[in-house]
Structures are given as C-alpha cells and as structure tokens.
Structure 1
C-alpha cells in the first residue's frame, strides 16, 4: 500500500521535527549547570581549560543522547548505550574532581540520571540507572565532605528527576504505540472493506452472469424455432443486466438493500425459465439479520443449482421459531460433495458474523442439500 507508506513517512517526519523542537526547548533546563560554569569563570577549579572543555562536552553529549529517543533518531542501540556510559563516566569524573568547590557540580548527575531514564527502553535497566545515579551523588558528596543537607537535596532532586523522566518516557512510548496501533487499525479496516467489497461483487455478479449465460443458451436454442420466445428471453437478459448494473452501483455507494423475498421471486423465475420445478415452503418474514444472510445464501444456492446440479426439482424451506431461523435448499440433481470455492467460503464467513452455521452435503434419495441455521440473538436486558 504505497499510500499508507507515504502517510507513515509523513507522520514519522512530523514526529521527528516535533522531537527536535522539544530537545531545543530542553536546553533551557541546562540552567543547573550555571553554578559549575560560574566556578570555572571565577577560577575556583584547576585546571580551568580541562573543566571548561569537560563541562561543554558533557552538556553537548547530554543533549545528543536525549535527542535520540525524543526525536526518534536512527542511532544503533549499541552506540547510544556507549554514549550513556561515556556521559556517566564524564559526569562522575567532573563531580568527583571539582565537587569540593561547590555542590553545584553534583548537579551533573541529575542530567546523567535523566539521560538514562529516557534512553533505556527496559524498565529494570532504567530503574537501576536512576538508583545508581542517586547512589553516586551520595558517595561523591560523602567522599568530598560536602554539606550533608546539600548532598541530600541533590540526591532527592536526582531521584525525582529520574522518576519523572521515567514516567514521561513511558507515557510517550504508550502514545507512540497508540498512534502506531491507530495506523494499523486504519490499514486493517481498509483491507477488510476491500475484501468485503470483493466478496459482495462476487456474490452479485457470479449469480447474475450465470443467469445471463443460461438465458443466452435459451435464446440460442430458440432463435431458429421460436423467434418470439427468443426475443422475450433476450429482453429478459437486458432486464437482468440493467438490474445487475443497478445493484453494483448500489453496492459501490453502500446503500444496497438485500431482500430475501426478492431473492425468492428471482429464484422462482430463474429456475422456472430453465425447466426446474420450484417449491417454497415457509414464510419469508425474517428479522433483519436472517433476511440479509438468507438472501445471500439463496442467491449462491440457486447459482449452484443452475451450474452444477442438472436437477429437475428444487425445494426451498424456511423455518422460523424461538431458537432461530433455518433455510434448506434441496435439489434432485447429481449430488456429490461440492468443493468450498469462493462462493461457499464467502457464505461461511458471512454466517460466522451472525453466529450461523452452513452445512452442504448429499441429500437422501439423491441430489444436494444445503442447510443454514441462524440462532436468535438474545435481547439485552436493561436494568435501572
């Protein structure tokens, strides 16, 4: 489906642009690096060039690592994990080396924690990363003899930042999964509609074209011996063609009404025209679901009688009671066990949607017996 692929690519590009804009806005959160930058500007750390380069590389690496999951950049997981490891080593090294100047250097581990929480897909690894980052803050603060209150505050902020980032990442992934599911559902609906339409066309045109062929054979046989009868049959072919054209147009617009009573009339006419005696027992007063399903079954059953049975008689029985409705089509033809082609397979699929069953096999005394049963749907109870 090229159209669907193009839509998917367009959606992916839109999400990537949105992600890059989010990363650009995320740079505002780097204000926590201002205290370490101030110590560098005041010359409180040595050597200054190493601290300056280290802090710049740390900030750039952090933004790059966050952009990978947020903007859905095409980066191999191994490369991304290596970048996270490098960020963690650089953050721990800078915090441990310059942490005696101010507790602001411990804030680097907040970014380490957030980058891992948003970048690691496995939840257990992400939780372990957050816990390791908090532990690193406590260990470095204790080793550098920093004020306990400040160290505890940074550790708490790191924990909260990690938890919030985990929650944000989880929600974002769920939203992506929902969008992907929506696209798949839309594609599935289109495919199902195409199959339904193909099945409807087969059921409509298969029966009609078979009828046209039978009528044309009658016209060919009568053309020399009974021109008036042949002309009448030819006019009938024209009528059938016009009716088929109308039904196809109605099927395309989706407003075609499929009446079982109309199909019964057509069955009597069609089978009678080829010399097959038709007997109908029962009433055609059915509910909407059974009426539609029985209409398709009768159409296909009559088509099979015309094509394959070589029958002289066809009995159609309709039985309705509290348990459901049953349609039986029996002929006295050659019988046998028919193969499930597109027609019978399509009927089975239709009946599955209504909870009905289809049985086709030899009839007692010869011929073929087709039985369809549709159970009555229980009424929903309403409670106040």
Structure 2
C-alpha cells in the first residue's frame, strides 16, 4: 500500500471527502462519451490524457482534503502540471461539441483547494476563467458556451475557495480548543501541586516543631507533653481535611483563618507575633492570596529565621492592598524555591507582586502587593 493510500485508510473522513470528489468527476462523462463514440480524433491521446487528468485531479485534491504529508513545492508543481494538461486537452479538442472546456473548471477547483493563501487561490481561479475565454476564442467555440463555462468556472472556484477557507478555520479552531484544553489541564496540575505544597509544607513544619516540644517535655512535664501531642493530632486532622478539600477543589483559604493559625504556630515556638491591619476591606482575590502568602511566609520564619519576633502588617487603600511580614532573625537573601515561586505565581494571577529581601535593622522582609478591588470584604 502506498503512503497516500495508507494515510487515507487512517483518515476515514478524508477518504469520504476524496470519494465525494470522485463523484464530482461526472462532468467528464461528456468528453469521455465522445471519445467512446469516435467523435474525437486522435482518440488514443485524448483518452490517455483524460484518464491522467482525472487521476491527477484526485491525487491533488487528496493532499489537502485527507491531510496527506506532501511538500508544498511538490504539490504546487503537481498543480502546474495538472493545469498544463488541462489547458493542452482543452486547446486540442475544445473546437468540437463535446464540452472539453469543462476541464478548466477542475483546474480552478484543484487550485482553490490546494493553495493555502487565499490571494493565490483567487489568482488561480481568475487565470482558469481567463484560460476558458482564450481557448474558446482560439478554437472558435460558441461564444455563449464559452461565457457560460467561464462564469461557471469562476463560481465553482469561488465556492471552493470559501469552502476550503471555512474548513481550514474549523480545523484551526479545533486545534486551538485542543491546545486550550491541554493548557488548562497543565495549569490545573500546577495549581494543585502548588496548593499541596503550600498546605503540607506549613502543616508538616508545625507538626515537626510540636513533636520537638513533646520530646523535650516528656521527661519533665508529661501532662503538658500530652497536651502538645493532642495539638499534633488536631493539626493532623485539620491537614487531612484541607487535603481532601484541595482534592475536591472546594478549599478556601481566608486571611483571617490563616492569621489565627499562624498566631498559634509562632507562639508555640516562642516567637512573639504582632498583627496590625489598617484601611478598607480586602478584595476577595487579595484575601485568598494573602492567606497563602501568610502561611508560606510564617512557615519560612519558623523554619529558617531563628527569630524572636515577627510583625504582620496589612494596609489597604484605594489603589492596592499590601501585606508585609517582618522578622528579626538572621536575614539574608533567600532563594526562590517552590514555595516562594508558587506565591509569586499566585500573586501574579491576581495582578500583584512579591518581594523578599533583607529588612532594615536585620531580619527578613516579605512584601506582597495586590491592586485593590472595591468589592472586597474582610474574611472575619
């Protein structure tokens, strides 16, 4: 089986369309019948030429219709050869009553389907119609028949151009839809991975800290150690619930909820926390994003800062909402790992920015900014 036939077998829709074009060849029955009746001389070149013309037409049409892999240069060379064959046959036999001018109609439609550029397609159709007129004049064919065939050639070519353009636009739309669907899946995977990191990173850090407290207190204060162990159990159950909510897509991280959580987390490790908020209510986007920023920022304070104090400030005016997290720890310039990179992406989706760097007087300063939305509300 040839590569073209194999491609048609793998593309049933293309096979059906090529078969439909085969039925379209019925207009060639008139010159074929004239050859059989002996009205065309010499008959053998006419028969061979007409058969080659029909086969070449189907082959050229199959390339765009069945989406066959053929180099454009080869396909264009085939169109030129097809046009020369059609013009030669029409010029040789158009003087008779057998309707050989109809071959130029097939030349027009083959180019209309084959050329991707619309301008080239229109030029090809116009050239085919002009060839009909010139051949009709040269062979002294009926002026009425020549004019009718030229008009039919233009109409058939224009309709084919419109159909081919529509088909290409539909295929482009389908490709765009598939690409959008693939992109949406990738974005959802990234969002899910980022959410799990933000959820479990904070929770597991808190569990580790409390487990260390339990280990230190167990020999000297079993009662308090048991209370801390109970907190670990509560944190674990809360984390399990949050993960389940993340999986089902219904999790909501409000800023007020995170604020309560980080107060507890910082107090448990001996870090003094100060919270202040000034200004108008946060937008829904800022409330959600700041909840994640607060969780990740405080997790980094607990893990890496060795700080004794952490200040959380929220301000909101007519232009933007700003969250700052400042500690008095070791400071430095932290590298953007998965956590901070995920926060930056989350803020960017809300039109905001994230900056992390050394604070004046030592320690680290994290600043998140989001444009203000007047419809926002505090999640209190």
Same fold (TM over 0.5): yes
**1:25 pairs with 2:20:** yes
Aligned 8 A contact 1:103 1:151 in 2? no
Residues 123-134 of structure 1 aligned to structure 2 (within 5 Å): 123-134=118-129
Aligned residues between the structures: 368
Alpha-carbon deviation of 1:231? 2.0
Check 1:199–1:115 CA distance in 2 against 1; reply closer, same or farther (3 A cut).
Answer: same
Determine which of 92, 97, 108 is the counterpart of 1:97: 92
SS of the equivalent of 1:280 reads: strand
Q: TM-score, normalised by structure 2?
A: 0.91
More deviation, 180-189/141-150: 141-150
Aligned to 2:312: 316
SS of the equivalent of 1:326 reads: strand
Structure 1 CA distance, aligned partners of 2:325 and 2:255? Answer: 14
Aligned 8 A contact 1:98 1:105 in 2? yes
Alpha-carbon deviation of 1:49? 2.8
Q: TM-score, normalised by structure 1?
A: 0.90
Aligned to 1:339: 335
Structure 2 CA distance, aligned partners of 1:198 and 1:229? Answer: 36
Structure 1 CA distance, aligned partners of 2:9 and 2:354? Answer: 49
Residues 64-75 of structure 1 aligned to structure 2 (within 5 Å): 64-75=59-70
More deviation, 48-57/139-148: 48-57
Aligned to 2:147: 152
Give per-residue Cα distances to partners, 1:121-174, cap 9 Å, x unaligned.
Answer: 233432332222122212211111112221121112112212221121111111
Alpha-carbon deviation of 1:378? 5.8
Aligned to 1:112: 107
Higher relative contact order (CA 8 A, sep 6+): 2
Aligned to 1:140: 135
Residues 162-311 of structure 1 aligned to structure 2 (within 5 Å): 162-282=157-277, 286-311=282-307
Aligned 8 A contact 2:316 2:372 in 1? no
In structure 1, the gaps of 5 or more residues are: 1-11, 380-384
Aligned 8 A contact 2:271 2:308 in 1? yes
Structure 1 CA distance, aligned partners of 2:229 and 2:290? Answer: 29
Structure 2 CA distance, aligned partners of 1:13 and 1:293? Answer: 52
RMSD: 2.1
Alpha-carbon deviation of 1:31? 2.6
In structure 2, the gaps of 5 or more residues are: 1-6, 376-380
More deviation, 88-97/370-379: 370-379
